[in-house]
Every structure is written in structure tokens, then in C-alpha cells.
Structure 1
Amino acid sequence: MTPADAAELLTLCAAFDRRTIGEADARAWAYALRDVPLDDDTRDAVADHYGRTEEWITPAHVRKIRARIRADRIGAAHPVYEPPQGAYETGAQFTARRRAQISAAADGTLPARSIGQALDAAPPRKVLALVAGIGRPVDDEPAPYITPERKAEVRAPLSGKRAALVELAVDCPNEQCRASRRHLCKGSRGAELRTGVHASRRDAYAVAYATCPECQAGPGQQCTAPEPHPARIRAALAPAPDAEDDEDKQQDLARLMSTPPQPRTARARHTTGGLRA
């Protein structure tokens, strides 16, 4: 900023605070703002200051408010650097191009845009696949996520009551436990957990043996979420129907339905008139 530019800026300030301006004032402001040009951002800084306070403006105010105005434009533009395709770029070239891009955003040449627009981001393929499935019929009964045969196969090598804890088919990934297959988990004091397992072991079992109904991840594949979906865990731990119990219940029901009712027998009762049969 030159003394002439500073005199013009001080004239704008005087329109608000009615200060007197001399040559010394113009030279002092020009020296304090020697690296700041007289542009619309500098003038806007003066107007913004007096639109918020009655305090006399100083070169420090002009510098601070002007920097804020330009920083807001940079934040709204989200400048994403894209190197030239098919060309080698040196560090000096990158620095020059990046500075030019930031300056363009601060000047308002690069328009405001969202982060998605700046990155030219498209929805992930998995999201597009889910959107494509909206509106499809769901009348058909879904197939079981883990078959009774597979669950019986997992339970077979487990002995005694431990067969009820199907999660024992995998090693426990808990750092404090690290129980191997077919061995119960241990608590913080070393005691065996006989009624359950660690949550991480339950999750590991669900990932190893069940298909996720939410993201369709197959056995041995991780879910799209950081942890297995709750539906996958429920599917893995759902009790398998016992075919023998169902058959016995059907036979008992058939036997009951085929047996004729017994004749009703008369019972004696006391009345005021004596004993009747």
C-alpha cells in the first residue's frame, strides 16, 4: 500500500469516525500496511469494523478483519489440489500452483462449493447397490443364515455342557483371556466363565460361521461396519430346531388325537336326602 492508497483508505475511515487526516497519517498507515493492497477486501474490512463497533479503527484492525474475510472464502471453496496429469511436478512447481489456488479461493475466483463437490465424490458402490434394491418384493421367506446341520457340526466336537456355548468353536481374541478352542473364557481374576463368553469371542464366532443379513458378508468375511452387525450375531446364536424333539411332539399329538375319550363315571355325592349313585 502506498501513501496515496493509505490516504484514500483513511478518507473512507473518516467518513465513519470524522477523524482528521494529514500526510504523516498517510505515510504511517502505508508503512504499517506495506504488504496489504488497497482492494475491495481492505475497504470491506473498514466497513465491517464500523458495522460492529464504535472504536476507532487501526491498521491492526484492517489487517485482522481482511485476513478473516479471505479465510472465510477459502473455507467455503474447499480448494482440493489436483496435480497436472501426465507431467512431473517439482516441489517448487507444487508450491507455486498451490499458492495460486489458495489465492484464487481467497479472491473469490474459486466459487464456494461443498466438500463432495470439491472431491467430485460419488456414492460408494455398496450404497448404490442398496439403493437399487429399494422397492423389491420381500414376500419370500429368507433362507436361514446358518443351517442346523452346520450348527450341529460346530457343536459336535464340544464336550459336556460346553456344547451349549457354540462360541467355543473359535479362539477368544480378548487380550486378557486368549482361551483356545473348546476352552472356557476366563475372567479378570482367572476364574472360568461357565455361563458365557467374552463379547469379542462372540463376534469372532458370528463372523466365522454366519452370513450377515444386513451387508451380506459371508462366513469368514468381515462386515462393512467396524464390528459385526447385531443381526449377524443374532443369526449365529439362534438356537437350531431339534428334529428329534419335533418328531416326538408330533407323535404325541397324533396319539392323543387318535385316542377316544374315556366314558365319564358317576361319582357319589352327599345331599340332604341321602347318598345317590
Structure 2
Amino acid sequence: MNADEAAELLGHCSGFDNRQPSIVAAKSWASALYDVPLDNDTKAAVAAYYTTPPQNPNERLWILPHHVRTLRAKLRDARLENFQYEPPAGELDPNYLARLRGQRHAIASGRIPAPTRAPMLEGGPSKEFMRELEARGWQGNRTVPDEDVSAGSLADTVRRAGPLGVECPACSAALGRPCHSGLATAKHPLGKPLAKPHTARIRVAAGEPPPDMARQAAEEDRIREASRLALERIKAEQAERKAAEAQLEDDAQEVSGE
């Protein structure tokens, strides 16, 4: 795309966003789209950009060169979705790469209608081939014997991998559901989902025996009580130290007054 073609493209864009094209803008767009021709796909990319509403309704749409390049490539790739190379008659094709590129370009540019569906495989094993298989003992597709595959038996044998494959013993989160905190909110009545499963759930998923929740709760209470006593002891020591420092200051003042 040269500067004149870029100026024409900017004029096409101005019909959507009311921009004021300039010579400087045309040269800049030409340098950014130097390998993109001004064709119907390029203009269709502009229309596709302004057809999609912005995420913020108050935001102004303003197309840039990289939008044109990306959307044009998507339009052309969509035509190649069901592309199938058509080789010439015979087994050898010395011009394979040139023929492949030509066929892809013809469909991507829209010069040849794009195939509407992917080609399907046709035919099957020949009768001679099937007779050879049967002569060697083949009896058709493998059959599965009848077994009890009730929902209960499947639920007992099929499990999701990882901690989410077991019920959480800490918060009672169901299979496949994330662990949650104990604090209910308006948005999360059962508690806010946690990014990481509880430690007890991880251990159970690893095959360790489930923890004794009552014993674990008692241990947590003991730790909290020990922390509370330690905090009170620290506060008491700080108070005694401040009192001793204040007494030293008073004694120093009395000595200096004498």
C-alpha cells in the first residue's frame, strides 16, 4: 500500500469515525501497511471493526493500522477453514508449493468461492481385504460384556484428579467445588471461594487419613490461647520497661536539681 492508497483507506475510515485525513497520516499508514494491498478485504476489515461495539459504550472507536492487518487476516483465514489441496492427476507434483500457494490465495482472496464444508472420506475396506481378515479369525468390532455400570458404581470409581476429587473435611465443599471460607456474604452465601484448597483436603486427596476435626479445632484453640497469653506478656513487659525508663528520668532530674 502506497501513500495514495493509504489516503483512500483513511477516507473510507472517515465515513465511520469522522476523522480528518492528512498527508502525514497517509504516509504513516502506508509505512505501517506496506505489505497490505488496498482491496475489498482491507475495506471489509474496516467495516468489521466498526460493526463490533466497544466494551465501554462511552468509548470512541478509532481504528488503527494493526486493526486493519489483523481483521483482514481473519477474514481471509475464515475462507480457508475447509480448504483441501487439489493435486493434479498422477502421483508426482513437482510444482506442489506453487500450486498450493496459488490455490490458497485464490480462495483466501475470494476469487474462488470458499468450500462450505470439509471434504469427507469416502469408501471403505474392499471385500477382498475383509475376507482376508475373516480368514485370519477377525470377528468384527470388539464387543464389551455386560457389566454393572450404574450411576452408583461409576460414582465410586470415577473421581476427579487432585484435591477437588474429594469432599473437603474442613468446609464440606462438594466434589469438584472449590473450598470456601466460613464468612458468608451477599454474593457468596456459602462463603467466598478460596484459590487454594484447605490443607486437610489436600492430604485426604493424597491418600492420608482424614483429620480429626474436633482434635484439630482444639489444637487451633490452644494455639490461639497461647498467642493471646504471649501478646499479653509482651505488652506487660513493654509497660514495665516504660515505667522503669520514666523512673530513671525522674531520678536524673532530681539529681540535676540538687
TM-score under structure 1 length normalisation? 0.43
TM-score by length of 2: 0.46
